[in-house]
Structure formats: C-alpha cells, structure tokens
Chain A
Amino acid sequence: MTQPFLSIRKLRKAFGAFTAVHDVTLDIPRGEFLTFLGPSGSGKSTTLYAIAGFQDPSSGNVLLEGKSLLAVPSHKRNIGMVFQRYTLFPHLSVAENVAFPLRVRRRPEAEVKRKVADMLGLVRLESFAERLPGALSGGQQQRVALARALAYDPPILLMDEPLSALDKKLREEIQAEIRRIHRETGVTILYVTHDQEEALHLSDRIALFRDGRIEQTGTGEDLYLRPATDFVAGFIGNSNFLAAEHLETKDGASTIRLADGSLISGINANGAFSSGQKTRLMIRPEAFRLERGPTSAELAVEIVDVAFYGERRRIVARTAAGQEIDIRPTSAAMASQEATPRHRRVFFDPGAAFLFPA
C-alpha cells in the first residue's frame, strides 16, 4: 500500500466541554486541491489550524509523508498559508513581504531576488513590487499573500476562507487565479470555505464537515449527484424534501408512497429502511420536468408563483399535501408553457431522487 502524502488520523479537538472536531480521518494525495466545506462552527477551520500548528489537537495525528507534524512548531512546518484577513506585514513593501519567508531562511540575496520576481509574476503583480500593502486593493493584497505563501515552495498550501472579505466579482477573478496557480505549481492545497459554489468551482475533492465530523468526502459531482446524507443534499445545491412512507427496497431501488397517496418506485435508497418507515424524498429543483419522459414519476401540484431568473425560471408550487416545493426549469423549456394551468403535473426521473431517513 502506498503511503498517503498528507494524512489526518482520528483528529479530535476539544475546548473544555465543547468538542470542535470529533474524529476526522482523511488522506490527501500529493497535488490534490481538497476543500473543507461546512457551515461555521463545523470544525473545518479547527482542523486546518491543527495542520498549521496553531492549535494542538486533543488526540489524533497529522502525518506528512509518514512523519508526524504535531511535535514540529509552526515555523518549522514549512507550510504555506493564506488567511481570511490580509495578514501582510504593513511596514514592508510587496516585494519584501514575498521575500520575508526567504529572508528568515537566510537564502542568498540573488535567490531571494529571483524568487520574488517569479512569485510576483505568478500572481501578476510585478509592477507593484515597491508599494506598501496599504496602497493595494483587497484582491491585490490577497494575491501578495498567495505569493508570500508560495515563495518557499511549501509542499502544502492552506487557505482559510481567503476570499470571504472580497466582493463577488473579485472573488470569481481570484478563484480563477487560484485554479491557474494550482495547475502551474502542482502544490497540494487544503482550502476552507463555507461557500458551496466556491468549493464546487475550485476543488478536486470536497470534505463536507458537520458538527466536527466529515459527513461525506468526494468530488463535487459525488456530493451533488450522490449525496450520502440529507445534510449533504441540503447543503450542496438546492433541494426539495417531500415526506414519504417507505414500502420496500429491492436492489437499491425503493418504492415509496407520498402524502397524496401516489406510489413511486425506482428511487435511490440511502441506507436500509423498514417497511412503513417515515422517510424524506429529496429531489433537486432542476430535476423536475414539465413534460413527461420515458421513466418519469409524476407529482400533482398547484402553481403558486413563477419568476424569471435569466437562464432558469423559478416556480413555487404546492403539493396536494400542502408542501411548497421549488422547481427550476430552463427558461427555454418553459417558453412553450406560458399559459401554465394553475393545477398541473410535474415530472421527475426517480433515478435522480434520493430517499433519506426522516
């Protein structure tokens, strides 16, 4: 068995009676872009801080190429990090900020010069070398922070919500920058965010945190299309949850009865259910169709509201059981349906619906 590049083993961190991280185990191969995604307080930053050495875990271990990092103080871990707030040194120029990690390592002047030029080129800030950080915009400062964190070729780059202080347009710009830099340098990146879109855009894999545990680890597609739990389904993308009674499951395909009495079969079952068990059926808003397909299940609804959102429309509908659901057909699919009847049927592929315990 090959040794994982970075390995988090049974990590646990308690602050007094409160346990921030329960039991996190994760292997990260070299060069991967892995995102810790989760709501605030889910333990993702605490896990990152344990890797950075800012917090000692209560138990568990962090291994880099088989060697434990825990006994190594922060300044000897040789890890790069970009923080939420811009933590540039305000009294040093952009070039000296990037040079800082090399200066404390007492690298020769020629090497420092060359490396600073390389790094400023990488983040496209060559012409700002002599400015002080205070004279830069937020996005520029964060790019300098990125250059500083990469200047000493760290094997791992940690990023703690680096874009949360920036506005939307700037965020997208720097996301593209981060992807390019990951491609060009091949550095292993651990990225923390609470923004699911950011996680989906950037990462090779996502570890979804909830209450100090990892709920599911996988690619963005795994989490979106094959959520392991209703929490994952609810956190990634938009979801409708309909109350349903489980009747039977055969070969991973379940048959259920909805509150209006209709039977639907061929649903993905997440876990084992007993007959008659109360469950929740998850359907993505964009999985609904307005036209019947070859394998469609159907649902009788009353249309409450239709709004135009550019590429999609958003329909708020009410089921026979009185539950409001969210339906997002493409605007093109809707065009022929302008004269929508108030009462109608909507359709979905049972293969795109998931069953979770209530």
Chain B
Amino acid sequence: MSVETQQSVATLRMPGGLGGLLPALILIGLFFVVPVLALLLRSVTDPAPGFQNYAALLGDGTYARVFFNTFLVAAVVTSVTVLVAFPVAWMLAIMPPALASIVFGVIVLSMWTNLLTRTYAWMVLLQRTGVINRALMATGLIDQPLPLINNLTGVTIGMVYIMLPFMILPLVGTLRAIDPMTLRAAALCGASPFQAFRRILLPLSLPGVAAGGLMVFVMSLGYFVTPALLGGTSNMMLAEMIAQMIQSLLNWGLGSAAAFILLVVTMALYALQLRLVGVRRATGGV
C-alpha cells in the first residue's frame, strides 16, 4: 500500500479533524471515564475519606482468600482451556476450509447462545442426580455420585466451556500461519511427532497461546454468573464478593475498592501483554 492511499484513508476517517471526534469523546468520557473515576472516588471517601477500604481488603485473611481463589480459578480455567483448545484449533487449522467453516459456525453459535442458559444446562448435567453422574453409576464406573458442582470442578467445567471460543479463535490464526511443510521437514530431520510438537509447533504457536490465554485469564478474573451458579460458598470469586458487598451489605466503599483493585490488575496484565506480543496481536490484529 502506498503512503498516498494511507493518507487519503486517514483524511476520510476524520473529515473535520479532531472536532469530528468530539461527540465520541464526550460519550466515552460520560459513560466510561466518569464512572471509573466515581468508583475510585467512592473507594477512598465512603464511609470516610482515607484508604481504610483498601487496608481492610488487603489486610484481611478472608478477603485475601477470595483474591487468591479468584486467581486460582482464573489460572486453572486458563490452563484447562489452553489444553482443550489446542487440539481443536490444530484440527481447524489443517481441516479442509469448507469443513472448517462449519465447525467455526458451531463454535460461534455456542458463543451466541445465552450465557445463563448454558450455565443452567451445566447445572442439570453436573448435579448429584445429573445426567453425567447417573450415566457413570449406571455403567458401574463409580458407586457414589462425583462432586461435580458447587466446587472448583464445576466452576472450571462451566467456565472452560464458555472461554473456549476466545482461546480457539486467536490460536487458529496463529496455527494457520505455520507452514505444514515445516512439520514434514522436522519429521524427515528425525523428529518424532512429540519432538516436532515440542520443538517446532509449540514454540511457533506461543503468540496465539499468549494472546488467547491472557484474554481468557482476564475475562475469568471478573467472571460472575458461572462461578455464582456452579461454584460453592467456600471458593467465592472477587466478582461475587463485590456483588455481596454492594447488594447485601450495601458497603459501596468496600465494593468500589475491590472493583478498583480488579481493574488495576486487569489493566496491568493487559499492559504486560501489549509489551510482550505487541498491539496487533494483543487485540487480535484489529
């Protein structure tokens, strides 16, 4: 593309210079920046000015457990998602294009299905008398129903299911860019399938894994619905705690502080990703 064309595109986008952007800037300011600032303000003024909300959150064992649990769930969900998504993405990358677009369609369709519906469906499947436990007991594999719900297992299953498309899509892009002949070359060089995977395919797909992984991790950190429905009281996540503080305890100050900490962590992770893989890859090339 020539410089000239790029310039004309730029002029097209901003016909009136910065003035044309004003309505958009006002909108973003009003609905995004102001609420975040209000949140920050509330966290240091409610019920009284000072950092007592942050001190309480960071100094208390109960809250620390919630923070820890939030990161634990996000880490477990991200790891499992990567493990499940990788083979699917690889299959999609090497599939004939016509078939791949059908599979893509199925994956995207699941993203469009209502989140609550999907989570309730998992509740039906995973409960003590659910389909999975009854099937396993009928085949004689287990005597007692497995504890699949109201614990970390349930949250992981439900969330991995929801996060999979966000991992698969960037990963397919990365894997498609790898020339399959490279792997044939590796095989003829004497690399066993496992060696070819570990030394060639995996390193080459790392940018996709990193992009998808961080997206899933960040989304998981603030997730509410699935942990609330499939998780147990002993492994509460941050979003649930914030909901409780504000809805049940009406403690706006503490809730705001917790929300703000989550925001800072998320942004720090995003900044880290930008630093590591660059803007184009971090945003999926948009």
- B204/A77 in contact, CB under 8 A: no
CB contacts (< 8 Å) of A73 on chain B: these are 187
A-B contact count (CB 8 A): 69
Residue of B179, B185, B188, B193 with most chain A CB atoms under a 10 A cut-off: B188
* Candidates B179, B184, B190, B204; contact of A104 at CB < 8 Å: B190
- A54/B184 in contact, CB under 8 A: yes
A54–B181 CA distance with the chains assembled, in angstroms: 10
A90 contacts partner chain B, Cβ-Cβ < 8 Å: yes
- B204/A75 in contact, CB under 8 A: no
Selecting from B12-20, B38-46, B195-203, B271-279, the interface stretch reads: B195-203
A10 contacts partner chain B, Cβ-Cβ < 8 Å: no
Closest residue of chain B to A98 (Cβ to Cβ) is: B189
- B190/A101 in contact, CB under 8 A: yes
CB contacts (< 8 Å) of B204 on chain A: these are 89-91
B186 contacts partner chain A, Cβ-Cβ < 8 Å: yes
* Candidates B179, B182, B191, B203; contact of A75 at CB < 8 Å: B191
B192 contacts partner chain A, Cβ-Cβ < 8 Å: yes
- A100/B188 in contact, CB under 8 A: no
B87 CB to closest chain A CB (Å) equals 20
Within 8 A of B (CB), among A68-104: 73-81, 83, 85, 87-91, 100-101, 103-104
- B190/A152 in contact, CB under 8 A: yes
- B182/A74 in contact, CB under 8 A: no
Residue of B185, B189, B195 with most chain A CB atoms under a 10 A cut-off: B189
CB contacts (< 8 Å) of B179 on chain A: these are 85, 87
The interface size of chain B toward A, counting residues with CB under 8 Å, comes to 19
- A105/B186 in contact, CB under 8 A: no
On whether A104 and B191 interact (CB within 8 A), knowing A89-B186, A89-B200, A91-B203, the answer reads: yes
A54–B188 CA distance with the chains assembled, in angstroms: 9
A280 contacts partner chain B, Cβ-Cβ < 8 Å: no
Within 8 A of A (CB), among B160-213: 179, 181-182, 184-193, 195-196, 199-200, 203-204
The interface size of chain A toward B, counting residues with CB under 8 Å, comes to 28
Closest residue of chain B to A52 (Cβ to Cβ) is: B188
CB contacts (< 8 Å) of A88 on chain B: these are 182, 185
A89–B201 CA distance with the chains assembled, in angstroms: 10
- B192/A87 in contact, CB under 8 A: no
A88–B191 CA distance with the chains assembled, in angstroms: 14
A246 contacts partner chain B, Cβ-Cβ < 8 Å: no
Residue of B186, B187, B195, B196 with most chain A CB atoms under a 10 A cut-off: B187
CB contacts (< 8 Å) of B196 on chain A: these are 75
- A100/B189 in contact, CB under 8 A: yes
On whether A74 and B199 interact (CB within 8 A), knowing A91-B204, A104-B189, the answer reads: no
A148 contacts partner chain B, Cβ-Cβ < 8 Å: yes
On whether A81 and B191 interact (CB within 8 A), knowing A87-B179, A89-B182, A90-B204, the answer reads: no
A152–B199 CA distance with the chains assembled, in angstroms: 18
- B184/A101 in contact, CB under 8 A: no
Closest residue of chain B to A87 (Cβ to Cβ) is: B185
B103 CB to closest chain A CB (Å) equals 24
Closest residue of chain A to B178 (Cβ to Cβ) is: A90
- A100/B181 in contact, CB under 8 A: no
Instruction: Return 19 A-B CB contacts under 8 Å, by A number.
Output: A74-B187, A75-B187, A77-B188, A80-B188, A85-B179, A85-B181, A87-B184, A89-B182, A89-B200, A90-B204, A100-B199, A101-B190, A103-B199, A104-B192, A104-B195, A104-B199, A149-B188, A152-B189, A152-B190
Interface residues of B (CB under 8 A from A): 179, 181-182, 184-193, 195-196, 199-200, 203-204
Q: A75-B190, A152-B190 are in contact. List 16 more A-B contacts (CB 8 A).
A: A53-B188, A73-B187, A74-B187, A74-B188, A79-B188, A81-B185, A83-B181, A83-B184, A87-B179, A87-B181, A90-B204, A91-B204, A100-B199, A104-B192, A145-B185, A148-B189
